Amino acid sequence: MKAAVVVFPGSNRESDMARALTQATGRPPSMLWHADHELPAGTDLVVLPGGFSYGDYLRCGAIAGRAAIMDAVRAHAARGGLVLGVCNGFQILCESGLLPGVLMRNANLRFVCRMQHLRVERNDTAFTRHYAKGQTIEVCVAHGEGNYEADDATIDRLEGEGLVAFRYCDSAGNVGGDANPNGSRNDIAGIYSNGRNVLGLMPHPENLIDALVGGTDGRGLFESLASAA
Amino acid sequence: MKARVVVTLKSGVLDPQGKAIEGALKSLGVEGVASVRQGKVFDVELAGADASAAKAQLQAACEKLLANTVIENYQIDV
């Protein structure tokens, strides 16, 4: 597994992401700059980390979604290459057209920073093989714009084709209600592309990889990726 | 040439910021506010002098960057 992490001006979770990838794959990822035009040869996985790229100016992820490196990321995804976007990375994937829909301001207008349970919707993808289908995992969220919204036809397609990756739930696995931190449609926390080789999610699995700092439920995602290529 | 681009949320898209402003206006005692929708205004200076070319340029700018057409509409005044 050869991973690369893209750093934009204002990214701030790239070191956390690199730590999680190194732990799971045994080798540190390449760190790419947004102005680069190419991925390193043999890249299996491209990761867009969290943060506040371009200060969230215009719309979250809007300017980063049009950065030079994104043409290479789109080409990588079109070839079936793996792409992971977390938090601001998810926003960038939506703005770049790699995933449908948009992340809007949280319904209660508050930045939410807390531990968060998720239900793993399927475990037959490159991102989730090390989880069980329907498993509840505990990770964390930290965002002000995580309210996933798309038109009805897109939501129906995501649901019908099994492209919802994770949903917000409580510790018992009950989806929605107070467990939904941001008002997201259908309690969606993360979605796949049609080919299930692109995943965007708002929560931060990369911060739950060490028992010393809160838990290890995020490891499954990186271990799945490590064994995927 | 000066132009103004106005980007607004499509009708039907929930606008929590507009709702919060609406609530604040009501609590300030501003009478008769039925609803508030928040948007963005871009004042753009263009080098050329041809209005139709300017409009076409700004339309491209809106489609490429200024508006997210999943949730937003735009209006161009040259």
CA distance B43 to chain A (A): 14
Residues A12-22 have pLDDT tens digits of 999 999 999 99
Chain A residues inside the 8 Å CB shell of B68: 59, 62, 95, 102
Residues B23-61 have pLDDT tens digits of 999 999 999 999 999 999 999 999 988 999 999 999 999
Q: What is the mean pLDDT of residues A195-218?
A: 97
State the complex-level ipTM: 0.83
Say how far apart CA A188 and CA A157 lie, in whole Å: 13
For residue A155, pLDDT over 90 is answered with yes
Q: Find the Cα–Cα–Cα–Cα dihedral A123, A124, A129, A133, rounded to 10°.
A: 20
Give the global pTM. Answer: 0.94
How many domains does chain B fold into? 1
Nearest-by-Cβ selection for A102 from B20, B65, B71:
B71
Nearest-by-Cβ selection for A66 from B13, B16, B65:
B65
Domain, as residue range, for B46? 2-77
Chain A residues inside the 8 Å CB shell of B71: 102, 104, 149
Say how far apart CA A99 and CA A65 lie, in whole Å: 11
CATH number of the domain enclosing B66? 3.30.1280.10
Angle of CA points A171, A181, A134, to nearest 5°: 40
pLDDT for B48: 85
| Closest-CA residue to A176 (of A138, A119, A227) | A119
- B20 contacts A149? CB cut-off 8 A: no
Place of tokens 């995943």: A199
Q: A156-191 burial, b if ≥16 CB within 10 A, otherwise e?
A: eebeeeebbbbbbbbeeeebeeebbbbbbbebbbbb
Distances (CA, A) of A16 to A70, A186, A218: 21, 29, 12
Q: What is the mean pLDDT of residues A101-120?
A: 96
Asked whether A36 and A76 are in contact (CB, 8 A), the reply is no
- pLDDT band of residue B17 (cuts 50, 70, 90) is confident
Looking at the domain covering A3-226, what would its CATH class be? alpha beta
Q: Domain ranges in chain A?
A: 3-226
Burial label, B47 (beta-carbon count in 10 A; 0-12, 13-18, 19+):
exposed
- A58 contacts B16? CB cut-off 8 A: no
Structure tokens at B48: 């050329």
CA distance B20 to chain A (A): 8
Chain B residues inside the 8 Å CB shell of A151: 70
